[in-house]
Chain A
């Protein structure tokens, strides 16, 4: 029965051989059963058939060229496929992953001898296997429409390539939320919310200089391909419109939208893979290692700058000009200094927010630190490996703060010293101020998090971050006399600092005179206060870490008696 001659022959399941992956096979078994699959396939089959038939019959009725009639079906089919893969697929991945955890069977999967990457691949392609099948059933209709519509392969191939990478990206998002979120409803809502935001809210950020985010969707490639997908006459009109829109440039390197989308999404997919593998290897692991988190931050900065800088000179980056060009009623006018200050502030805030998120990921909890020191003692060393989860995240957040300040400075300088604001300059000292903002915000938060724990740090963030902004907003709307007080109150928040910094250093002209006087004073005062608080927190952090290290390393073992003797 259970003869122990061969405990486990350790077959390594390759992550790339998806067909041989037991997790994938398990989901093929459960999600592709004829009874459930029949209805699931019937619905897209009927809808896709309806779309193609309608396009054809409208074409016949209106005497349209058959190719044009067939082309009319391509975009509705793409929408249907998007719903299947992006919405249903992502929800299934997130929900399915959480269900595994809710039911408790995930513990079995943690113990099976497969590499984390193989497990990730198994879930990634296994959980939404029915949705992939539903997608596949619509493909013959798309193929017919593309062939009959005489759509060039150069048009549809990049588009479907991006559909695939976007699908992977969203499914990875779902997988990650399913792995991290506490319950199924949350995982479902967060993942669907994220996809929804990507197509609605996040593109708006592109209008304020954060162009990178729109490349996480299929929109840029879709827009580029649109002319070739529409009936020829409509396509020609779109093509004229497209000539007015600048092509994507990354530090003045000309890329096609598809290549750049793959580049942008690829980095994020890789980061998600790293996160998931870490979680599968050890559930207590941080989502990202310190080095990867820092690299990820630098990469995001490069992407943000690479996208934004080439758009400054043509003026496409400024939301006001984009709006005017779009509606073409108002005469073109140069952007205002206030707009530049606002955009600089948004860049600073986005950078600071990213530091907060990454600091939250890489900062060890006190339990984690304790474990690290005990392991160090066990291994007979007196320090922690700098890249270990239990090691301090301080240095890495400091690097992020400096890089973030540099990125913010480069963006602001390129913006302000562009042809749109002749005579305006951003001196090098501005970098120092920006660095102080990032230091007092990002590094201060990290030091607080590491020394005092997440609960305390989050409480402080709410009380000193969100509450002053809300209270200040209420105060400021009471009367004009209250505006200086409101400016001082809002200035307490680290979230307002990037805007205060940009306004103070670039332009205060559009502010009411009372606010224009109060904002710089409040900014420098609170910057000084928070910088001093941050320094104090850093000192406390080092003292706490040293004390913990001494306490653990001095004890010869975890034997409480020996520990007490060592202490004595």
Chain B
């Protein structure tokens, strides 16, 4: 399936994945994934458990060789020039682990030294900067093992930022974070993107990604289902179902009978002054419904719409796994 990729601005894509496939024996974890992410994007990858997100991430980070397919990171072939590719990326894995025998600053300083970020004083400065970025300066002398789940996530994010990677690959970075920390994470990711970095982020919570990403894609059972902006994704997934509520001043039975005869209307019921019904159709068809009621001489006090949330869409996707 070749779905439209997010629009590129003409420059080399920061991440270019072509025909990626990952097999574990007979099990296909990622199947024919093709997508391209322009520089400076916060790109989200969403899907239920087992969608192939982590496998895709491990391939992107060169930690796993795919069965086939190509991955270009900032123009570098990730599997032909593995060393250069690794210098480009910063990786934060799912359930971001930290060593239990180090303090927060020691963990960061070790990575700063490994990335060759100058002498002890320069490293210290950079460590402090990154700790400040994730609001963990006060915890610098704490043992990594004593940190809460959310704090651990933030320490690993700080580690990921240390060497100023051009491509950040963050697997479920928001899991375990409280709402405030999530908001801070969104801010951090946006600032990173503004500074020119490309952020590739995964989550199984679509609404969360929709808030923080400039574009996203949905995967299920190893395949790409949709990609683009949040609205484009919703459209591609074909989920135009919505719940409509018409508040009428009388003639409810007549209105219900007329609505029930219209295409796309389902699950209709009357609750007090309101006629509540499901509707699957275009925005034009929805406008026609309202106009039709008015033409019938029915006085419409209000007409409300509630679309399926991203969560509902993902639940549908996950449900399709259980009942293929």
Q: Are B164 and A7 in contact (CB under 8 A)?
A: yes
Q: Are A9 and B117 in contact (CB under 8 A)?
A: yes
Scan B81-112; emit 1 where CB is below 8 A from any A CB, else 0.
Answer: 01100111101010101111110001000110
Q: Are B116 and A113 in contact (CB under 8 A)?
A: yes
- Shortest beta-carbon distance from A50 to chain B in Å: 31
- Shortest beta-carbon distance from B145 to chain A in Å: 10
Listed stretches B5-13, B188-196, B254-262, B295-303; interface member: B188-196
Across-interface contacts of B63 in A (CB, < 8 A): 107, 110-111, 283
Indicate which residue in B62, B65, B82, B116 contacts A371 across the interface (CB closer than 8 Å).
B65
Chain B residues touching A, range: 35 or more
Q: Are B88 and A7 in contact (CB under 8 A)?
A: yes
Known interface pairs A105-B97, A108-B159, A112-B114. Does A4 touch B65 (Cβ–Cβ under 8 Å)?
A: no
Indicate which residue in B64, B99, B197 contacts A103 across the interface (CB closer than 8 Å).
B99
Across-interface contacts of B83 in A (CB, < 8 A): 113
Known interface pairs A107-B63, A370-B67, A371-B67. Does A2 touch B82 (Cβ–Cβ under 8 Å)?
A: no
Indicate which residue in B87, B88, B99, B113 contacts A30 across the interface (CB closer than 8 Å).
B99
Across-interface contacts of A557 in B (CB, < 8 A): 19
Central interface residue in A11, A13, A23, A284, by most chain B CB within 10 Å = A11
Judged by a CB distance under 8 angstroms, whether B165 is at the interface is yes
Q: Are A8 and B163 in contact (CB under 8 A)?
A: yes
Question: With A and B bound together, what is the CA distance between A244 and B47 in angstroms?
Answer: 76
Question: With A and B bound together, what is the CA distance between A276 and B234 in angstroms?
Answer: 48
- Shortest beta-carbon distance from B194 to chain A in Å: 9
Those of B34-87 within 8 Å (CB) of chain A:
61-65, 67-70, 82-83, 86-87
Judged by a CB distance under 8 angstroms, whether B32 is at the interface is yes
Judged by a CB distance under 8 angstroms, whether A306 is at the interface is no
Q: Are B68 and A283 in contact (CB under 8 A)?
A: no
Q: Which residue of B lies closest to A557 (CB)?
A: B19
Q: Are A1 and B133 in contact (CB under 8 A)?
A: yes
Known interface pairs A1-B195, A29-B102, A283-B63. Does A558 touch B164 (Cβ–Cβ under 8 Å)?
A: no
Q: Are B110 and A558 in contact (CB under 8 A)?
A: no
Across-interface contacts of B21 in A (CB, < 8 A): 558
- Shortest beta-carbon distance from A557 to chain B in Å: 7
- Shortest beta-carbon distance from A287 to chain B in Å: 16
- Shortest beta-carbon distance from B89 to chain A in Å: 7
Judged by a CB distance under 8 angstroms, whether A114 is at the interface is yes
Judged by a CB distance under 8 angstroms, whether B23 is at the interface is yes
Judged by a CB distance under 8 angstroms, whether A254 is at the interface is no
Q: Which residue of B lies closest to A115 (CB)?
A: B83
Indicate which residue in A2, A22, A107, A284 contacts B197 across the interface (CB closer than 8 Å).
A2
Judged by a CB distance under 8 angstroms, whether A104 is at the interface is yes
Across-interface contacts of A371 in B (CB, < 8 A): 65, 67-68
Central interface residue in A2, A9, A109, by most chain B CB within 10 Å = A2
Judged by a CB distance under 8 angstroms, whether B129 is at the interface is yes
Q: Are B19 and A558 in contact (CB under 8 A)?
A: yes
Chain A residues touching B, range: 35 or more
Across-interface contacts of A25 in B (CB, < 8 A): 110, 113
Q: Are B86 and A367 in contact (CB under 8 A)?
A: no
Judged by a CB distance under 8 angstroms, whether A3 is at the interface is yes
Across-interface contacts of A565 in B (CB, < 8 A): none
Question: With A and B bound together, what is the CA distance between A557 and B19 in angstroms?
Answer: 9
Question: With A and B bound together, what is the CA distance between A282 and B64 in angstroms?
Answer: 8
Judged by a CB distance under 8 angstroms, whether A6 is at the interface is yes
Across-interface contacts of A182 in B (CB, < 8 A): none
- Shortest beta-carbon distance from B38 to chain A in Å: 15
Q: Which residue of A lies closest to B24 (CB)?
A: A367
Central interface residue in A103, A108, A281, by most chain B CB within 10 Å = A108
Across-interface contacts of A558 in B (CB, < 8 A): 18-19, 21, 32, 68-70
Across-interface contacts of A281 in B (CB, < 8 A): 82
Known interface pairs A104-B97, A107-B93. Does A2 touch B116 (Cβ–Cβ under 8 Å)?
A: no
Q: Are B116 and A282 in contact (CB under 8 A)?
A: no
Judged by a CB distance under 8 angstroms, whether A560 is at the interface is yes
Known interface pairs A107-B63, A111-B86, A558-B18. Does A6 touch B164 (Cβ–Cβ under 8 Å)?
A: yes
Across-interface contacts of B111 in A (CB, < 8 A): 108, 112
Scan B150-183; emit 1 where CB is below 8 A from any A CB, else 0.
Answer: 0000000001010111100000000000000000
Judged by a CB distance under 8 angstroms, whether A374 is at the interface is yes
Known interface pairs A107-B93, A559-B19. Does A113 touch B86 (Cβ–Cβ under 8 Å)?
A: yes
Across-interface contacts of A283 in B (CB, < 8 A): 63-64
Q: Are B95 and A111 in contact (CB under 8 A)?
A: no
Q: Are A367 and B114 in contact (CB under 8 A)?
A: no
- Shortest beta-carbon distance from A96 to chain B in Å: 10
Question: With A and B bound together, what is the CA distance between A54 and B65 in angstroms?
Answer: 60
Known interface pairs A105-B99, A108-B111, A282-B65. Does A7 touch B133 (Cβ–Cβ under 8 Å)?
A: no
Question: With A and B bound together, what is the CA distance between A284 and B59 in angstroms?
Answer: 12
Q: List 20 A-B contacts (CB under 8 A).
A: A1-B161, A2-B133, A2-B191, A2-B192, A6-B164, A7-B163, A9-B117, A22-B110, A22-B114, A30-B106, A104-B97, A110-B63, A111-B62, A111-B63, A112-B114, A283-B64, A370-B68, A374-B68, A558-B32, A558-B69
Question: Which residues does A use to contact B, with CB under 8 Å?
Answer: 1-11, 13, 22-23, 25-26, 29-31, 103-105, 107-114, 281-284, 367, 370-371, 374, 378, 557-560
| Additional A-B contacts beyond A1-B195, A30-B102, A105-B99 (6; CB < 8 A) | A1-B192, A7-B164, A22-B113, A371-B65, A558-B21, A558-B70
Closest 10 CB pairs of A and B: A11-B116, A558-B19, A104-B97, A112-B114, A22-B113, A30-B101, A22-B114, A26-B110, A4-B196, A8-B163
